[in-house]
Amino acid sequence: MPLIDKTLYIHYHVLWTIPLSYLHSLQPLEGFFFQSLRAEKTMGSTQNTGSTLSSDEEAMLMAMQLSFGSALPMILKSAIELDLLGIIDKAGPGALLSTKEVAAQLSTTNPDAPLMLDRMFRVLSSYSVLTCSLRTLPDGKVERLYGLGPVCKFFTKNEDGSSISTISVLSQDKVFMDSWYHLKDAVLDGGSPFKRANGMPVFDYLGTDHRLNTNFNKGMFDLSCINMKWILERYDGFEGLKTLVDVGGGTGVALNMIVSKYPNIKGINFDLPHVIENAPTIPGVEHVGGDMFVSVPKGDAIFMKVICHSFDDESCLKIFKKCYEALPENGKVIVVENILSDYPDSGPITKFTTLSDAFMLACNLGKERSENEFEALAKGAGFQGFQVKCYVYSICVMELLKRV
């Protein structure tokens, strides 16, 4: 297995990819939500304890962090929706702003806004999302100044205008959050927590909710832009293809980037009709609506990026079999998915992939898988070959070969 570049690790508390989550350039994190207490153990003088923490005190603090942990993603969601990180970013590289300066750029007449922002920013600083510096004012009062931490590179727009902010906000959307309140009953009685909360499976629901469908597509667009840039730098398996079908390709962002680098490829973007209805015209790409459980357009190769984790094994096997039928004898399926390790260690990749797996459990009864599980599904669908080609943070690029 190729070495994983830890600088590319993104935690994305969510979904089909993100967002909170990150980088080795941050202080060592024990996951995005719950940092190690090692640093706190040596900070007794600033915490009014006067001594180091005992192991029981560390465990108690971890228990309390877990118990109050829902505050962090909701504060981050509000910070994104208010564009607070963008305000600091626009102030220039290395900028440090007070919450009064940030609040002055909001459309608000609330006199308490600076104080409320300061309380939010202190949380974000404690998790290294923001940096904090202290400034003593002429009257002797201490003022906190905040800057962007390294992780904010992914929460503020890059040169393509993309960020994982859309995925982060999407994962905290009330429609998805309601699913968690039904997880206990789903464990006891079976079924999908999302369906219990919303009356239908997630992808059916997206077809009925224009707002959520728009936000979902935007989140997938932004995440695809970020992930595909890295994939195209590392994976060369698109070379020599004539026709490439992107199954579950959304609005076509991945194919757009692929055919831009490989202009000789004809791209077919295949997804549900309500997904592609607003897809933009892309040179070299044809948008085709349909159902991958019924049939898949024919091509030299089929591309599936973060599709399998939305479905159970039986459904994935059906999709792989439809892909098998659509390929020539020398064809292949290129599968891009997060990979679960067999042992749940406490590293950042495992923390993200297990959170993503849990999100799938709550939202659609899909799941993340190990390399061995993907190989078994491939062989079960008739593919003779299975190869792991490269990794990008937690994402693995695999090839399913029809013949070897």
List residues bridging with 145 in a β-sheet: 133
- What band does 223 get if pLDDT is binned at 50, 70 and 90? very high
User: When comparing pLDDT for 29 and 403, which is higher?
Assistant: 403
User: When comparing pLDDT for 90 and 23, which is higher?
Assistant: 90
pLDDT at 241 over 50: yes
Q: What is the mean pLDDT of residues 141-164?
A: 95
User: When comparing pLDDT for 275 and 371, which is higher?
Assistant: 371
> Are 384 and 401 in contact, with CB atoms under 8 Å apart?
yes
Q: What is the pLDDT of residue 133?
A: 98
pLDDT at 74 over 50: yes
List residues bridging with 401 in a β-sheet: 332, 385
pLDDT at 17 over 70: no
Query: Which phi and psi angles does 225 have, rounded to 5°?
Result: -60, -45
Pair of tokens at residue 380? 């079960």
pLDDT at 16 over 50: no
pLDDT at 1 over 80: no
Q: What is the pLDDT of residue 268?
A: 99
What are 20-48's pLDDT values in tens digits? Answer: 333 333 333 344 434 444 444 444 445 55
Q: What is the pLDDT of residue 49?
A: 53
- What band does 362 get if pLDDT is binned at 50, 70 and 90? very high
Q: What is the mean pLDDT of residues 287-303?
A: 98
Separation CA 247–CA 240 (nearest Å): 19
Q: What is the pLDDT of residue 330?
A: 97
Q: What is the mean pLDDT of residues 273-280?
A: 88
Which of 359, 369, 368 lies closest to 183 in space, CA to CA? 359
- What band does 51 get if pLDDT is binned at 50, 70 and 90? confident
Sign of CA dihedral 363, 250, 259, 224: negative
Q: What is the pLDDT of residue 15?
A: 37
Domains of the chain: 70-155 (1.10.10.10), 164-401 (3.40.50.150)
Residue type, 377: L
- What band does 343 get if pLDDT is binned at 50, 70 and 90? very high
Residue type, 310: S
Active site residues: 309
pLDDT at 99 over 90: yes
Q: What is the mean pLDDT of residues 216-239?
A: 94
What pTM was estimated for this model as a whole?
0.83
Q: What is the mean pLDDT of residues 72-97?
A: 98
pLDDT at 97 over 90: yes
Give the burial string for 305-329 (b: 16+ CB within 10 Å, else e). Answer: bbbbbbbeeebbbebbbbbbebbee
Q: What is the mean pLDDT of residues 358-381?
A: 96
Q: What is the pLDDT of residue 275?
A: 84
User: When comparing pLDDT for 27 and 278, which is higher?
Assistant: 278
Q: How many residues does the chain have?
A: 404
Separation CA 17–CA 39 (nearest Å): 30
SS in 3 state form for the chain? CCCCCHHHCCCCCCCCCCCCCCCCCCCCCCCCCCCCCHHHHCCHHHCCCCCCCCHHHHHHHHHHHHHCCCHHHHHHHHHHHCCHHHHHHHCCCCCCECHHHHHCCCCCCCCCHHHHHHHHHHHHHHCCCEEEEEEECCCCCEEEEEEECHHHHCCCCCCCCCCCHHHHHHHCCHHHHHHHCCHHHHHHHCCCHHHHHHCCCHHHHHCCCHHHHHHHHHHHHHHHHHHHHHHHHHCCCCCCCCEEEEECCCCCHHHHHHHHHCCCCEEEEEECHHHHCCCCCCCCEEEEECCCCCCCCCCCEEEEECCHHHCCHHHHHHHHHHHHHHCCCCCEEEEEEEECCCCCCCCHHHHHHHHHHHHHHHHCCCCCECHHHHHHHHHHCCCCEEEEEEEECCEEEEEEECCC
Residues 6+ apart with CB under 8 A from 282: 252, 255, 256, 259, 267, 269
Tell me the pLDDT of the chain averaged across its residues. 89
pLDDT at 299 over 80: yes
CA terminus-to-terminus distance, the chain: 21
